[in-house]
Structure 1
Amino acid sequence: MQLTELNAISPIDGRYRTKTIPLASYFSEEALIKYRVLVEVEYFIALCKLPLPQLSEVNPDSFKELRAIYTNFSTEDALWIKETEKTTNHDVKAVEYFIKKQFDVLGLSNYKEFIHFGLTSQDINNTAIPLSTKEAFENVYLPGLVALIQKLKDLSVEWADVPMLARTHGQPASPTRLGKEILVFVERIEEQMRLLFNIPFAAKFGGATGNYNAHKVAYPTTDWKAFGTKFVEEILGLRHSFPTTQIEHYDHFAAFFDALKRINTILIDLDRDIWTYVSMDYFKQKIKAGEIGSSAMPHKVNPIDFENSEGNLGMANAIFEYLAAKLPVSRLQRDLTDSTVLRNIGVPIGHTIIAFEATLKGLNKLLLNEDKFAEDLDKNWAVVAEAIQTILRREGYPNPYEALKDLTRTNSVINRDSIHAFIETLDISDKIKTELKQITPSNYLGI
């Protein structure tokens, strides 16, 4: 059966395939194989540049051809490696055999045994996977998040002067501005991004148990630690973890996943707030010709984009949480449980990308219902009580809080007229009374 959107088990590769297909270049099995080939080839070139005595005669002109092994890597190459894996029962060894075959084609057969020299498979996996994740983060995740942040910034400016009744504990509270409430989410996300950017993509590279045993026994005078650090950090652009066991600690990966989870949690908060504003009629939604909101109720236009986003963010966070909790734990110098888990990094990132697009789509459909904002403010004149009692405190008026409390809790109707009538009963100057009467739910907005 050929994999299609209709028969895929995961919605990431099925229903949402068009949204997640950019991630295939980083998290698919073919992508993992390609990144392994990249690391193996660059490692061989680094050994040539060291140089190891036996590789000193390798012509640097051949480096371009060597790099073409991974830059021109094809699905057919990946299939050859997977077929070879059926015999080797070892995925990284199959990659080594593939590169050796390419060396024969390039006339480099004499140097084939320096492919994967002194390494264990985790030296390849623990560089290939952080590298692919780093590039997916930079090329797919960040552009999606930045686009969403920019939309929120644009809306915060567009709605900067829209007064809105705030609700704390679900009850009317001191008025605010719609643009400011949107800007809160921008600041929260950007603060998490500042923390996120301080988390390195770390990689292990040091042989079977992290000590360069095989390297040192073959070439005892070479500074292999310095070589490994230079290779990982200057050539691959990752952070070299040292010392390690056979595998990367994954502590930085855990921090990375936790950071992505926190950003997702903020977006869940945003989705739920906007969903609630839609239910309060603060927003209408643009209707696309032919779309149906409900199979039974023709009038409905549901906030499905925010619901879709919330669901996908929840799925992503569940997996991010597991990755962060599981990966740093490995028995003794290494067990194999990380292998299958690492293959799932693309899954929560996929759900996250789907959510980014859904939230952005929902935001683009919002139509401001300013009449409803104004109506809610006008129905809640009680919220100016805070302003009045604060000015009375300033003027030294006795027990102003209690006076306003009695007014707002005993009067059945609190409106402009009842507030102004109350002000007239106060033993204060006409100047202060005029000041108090200038306060309305629509202008008591703070900074």
Structure 2
Amino acid sequence: MSNDRGPLWAVSPLDGRYADRTAPLVEYVSEAALQRARVTVEVEYTIALADLQATPVEIDPDLRASMRDCYRDFDESDAELIKAIETTGAKGYAATNHDVKAVEYYLREATPERVHPWLHFGLTSEDVTNLAYRMLIRDAMESVLLPRLRAIREELTEFAHAHADLPMLARTHGQPATPTTFGKEMAVYAARVGQGIAAVEAATDSLAGKLGGATGTFAAHAVAYPDVDWPAFAREFVTDLGLSYLQPTTQINPGDDLATLFDALARVNRVLIDLDQDAWQYVSRGYLGQEAAAGETGSSTMPHKVNPIDFENSEGNLSRANSDLGFLAETITTSRMQRDLSDSTVKRNMGVALAHSLLGYVKLETGLAKVVPRESVMAEDLQANPAVIGEAIQTVLRREGNPDAYELVKEATRGESVTMADFEALIEDLDVDASTKETLRSLTPESYTGIAASLARDA
């Protein structure tokens, strides 16, 4: 059968059903993107070598520009050529069966012969690949995922401010509890997401690259040019790529920095899963109404249904992302002795974890954009649960010196169907002054929200 099939035939929904939503990540986590990043590292490394007084290679401004065009103008034909050199052979090269060596041969086609000895000089493949991956992950975070997370935080902040005063029955252990406001609950999530973003930003800024040769000793570099301060050279080269510098290492970058980032991303994803589940509950209880999309079907058999599918889809994708992020963080930080290849195939799936995260963010944003708080439903629920002001009554009575205030209110309310009239009768019989009674009579479930409104406005 033909290989020229569309997305309906994709093995993964990331490249099939959800391809339009994951498209922003293609520039950072595809194989072609990895090839381009490797070309970037190889080109800039060769130019950096030419800038050393110890080396005889000369690369004039015109050649530098043309070499940099190899990654600046990198397109599908370049990616296909590198792949061909690796898998079938091309341009007179036999199949390398090695992806980094294929990049080196690709660059030979774009440079004069006098430069060829200096391409990949003294390097091991991991010197190139660890830098390429970190540049890509950094850019994916900064250009795609972090902007989405910030947009979610902003949307939650807007909810918090817009509905700061909207009273809502709270629930602890699933049972009616001290009222809050919808805005304050959204402020909690805005704050949690903000903290998560800060952790992800810090981890992204801390991505660190290595360059040190076959076992991290600079052995090949040092034997060729023993008078060069190779660690200083490596530090400058890596930091010029926008990464921190890691030393000492074995052949590989141990991946602790990536694990830190994946752990941070998983933590903020867990916050959003919590939000997805709460939003689902709010929709289920009628606290949030959903806009019905024209032509959309909520159920194949129940025509009335408008399902909270965006929150459900978000929860599912974020859960899958966290499964992958946990596996990545655990796996990429271990390697037998100086190097084994078990991490290589695993790292090719880093984009999968990022893509599921992105899908979760997109779906959550979509869900939040569709919902509208239903004040009447929230009000009805508050009015149906007057018992929640019992906490306020017993607290005021404690203030007035009554040591049995809790027990008094508990006896009158726990397990009972309590009405506001019952509280009125209780208050009438209390041995407190008229001012205190007036304070207690003024209590309602709708008004008993503490400083929730100001907390929401501070979000």
With normalisation by structure 2, the TM-score equals 0.94
The one-letter code sitting in structure 1 at the alignment partner of 2:167 is P
Q: What's the counterpart of residue 46 of structure 2?
A: 44
Secondary structure class of the residue paired with 2:180? strand
Deviation of residue 136 (structure 1)? Answer: 0.7
CA deviations 1:66-124 (Å, max 9, x no partner) are 11111001111111111111211111011000101100xxxx32121101000010001
Are the equivalent residues in 1 in contact too, given 2:49–2:55 (CA < 8 A)?
A: no
What is the SS of the residue equivalent to 2:8? Answer: coil
Residue of structure 1 equivalent to 2:120:
116
Tell me, yes or no, if structure 1 residue 144 matches structure 2 residue 145.
no
Secondary structure in structure 2 of the residue aligned to 1:197: helix
Distance 1:17 1:135 in 2: 20
1:58 and 1:432 map into 2 onto residues whose CA distance is: 87
After TM superposition, list the pairs within 5 Å mapping 1:273-288 onto structure 2: 273-288=278-293
Identity level (%): 48
1:393-442 superposed Cα distances (whole Å, 9 cap, x missing partner):
111023100000001026x4312211111100101111110011111111
Q: Which residue of 1 aligns with 2:90?
A: none
Letter paired with 2:33: A
Q: Does residue 331 in structure 1 map to residue 336 in structure 2? A: yes
Is 1:215 the counterpart of 2:211? The answer is no
State the partner residue of 1:91.
Answer: 99
RMSD over equivalenced CA pairs, Å: 1.1
Give the drift of 1:367: 2.1
Alpha-carbon offset, residue 158 of structure 1? 1.2
Q: What secondary structure is seen at the aligned counterpart in 2 of 1:174?
A: strand
Structure 1 residues 63-102: aligned runs within 5 Å:
63-86=64-87, 87-102=95-110
Q: Is the 8 A contact 2:387 2:419 kept in 1?
A: yes
SS of 1:398 mapped into structure 2:
coil
Partner of 1:170: 174
Work out the CA distance in 2 between the residues paired with 1:232 and 1:31: 19
- Pick from 349, 353, 357 the counterpart of residue 348 of structure 1: 353
| C-alpha distance in structure 1 between counterparts of 2:428 and 2:353, whole Å | 61
| C-alpha distance in 2 between matches for 1:215 and 1:306 | 54
The within-5 A match list for 1:152-191 is: 152-191=156-195
Give, in angstroms, the shift of residue 368 of structure 1: 1.8
Aligned match for 1:357, one of 358, 362, 381: 362
The answer to whether the 8 Å contact 1:378/1:415 transfers is no
SS at match of 1:12: coil
Matches of residues 252-291 of structure 1 in structure 2 within 5 Å? 252-291=257-296
Instruction: Write out per-residue CA displacement over residues 8-29 of structure 1, whole angstroms, 9 at most, x where no aligned residue.
Output: 0100000000000111111111
Encode CA deviations 1:352-372: one digit per residue, 9 max, x unaligned: 111111111111111221111
Distance 1:409 1:102 in 2: 81
User: Which SS does the other structure have where 2:7 is aligned?
Assistant: coil
Compute the TM-score of the two structures, normalised by the length of structure 1.
0.97
Q: Secondary structure at the match of 1:252?
A: helix
Instruction: Report if the CA contact (8 A) 2:149-2:361 is conserved.
Output: yes
Q: Decide whether the 8 Å contact of 1:210 with 1:244 is kept in 2.
A: yes
C-alpha deviation, 1:198, in angstroms: 2.3
* Deviation string, structure 1 residues 229-268 (Cα, Å, up to 9, x no partner): 11001x2111111100000010111111111111111111
1:127 is matched with 131
Cα distance in 2, alignment partners of residues 356 and 144 from structure 1: 6
Q: Give 5+ residue unaligned stretches, structure 2.
A: 88-94, 452-459
In the alignment, the residues of structure 2 paired with residue 339 and residue 368 of structure 1 have an alpha-carbon distance, to the nearest angstrom, of 48
Taking the aligned partners of 2:315 and 2:299, their CA distance within structure 1 comes to 19
Question: Where do 4+ consecutive residues of structure 1 move more than 3 Å?
Answer: none
Instruction: Say yes or no: does 1:415 pair with 2:423.
Output: no
Partner of 1:59: 60
Alignment partners' CA distance in 2, 1:4 and 1:50: 50
Select 2:247's aligned residue among 231, 234, 242: 242
Alpha-carbon distance between aligned partners in 2 of 1:194 and 1:243, rounded to the nearest angstrom:
28
Q: What is the CA–CA distance in structure 1 between the aligned matches of 2:157 and 2:98, rounded to whole Å?
A: 49
Instruction: Tell me the distance in 2 between the aligned counterparts of 1:193 and 1:155.
Output: 19
The residue aligned with 1:432 is 436
| CA-to-aligned-CA distance 1:213-244 (integer Å, 9 cap, x gap) | 000000000000000011001x2111111100
Q: Partner of 2:21 in structure 1?
A: 19
* Shift, 1:61, TM fit: 3.7
Deviation at 1:3, TM superposition (A): 4.3
Q: Give distance in 1, aligned partners of 2:328 and 2:414.
A: 52
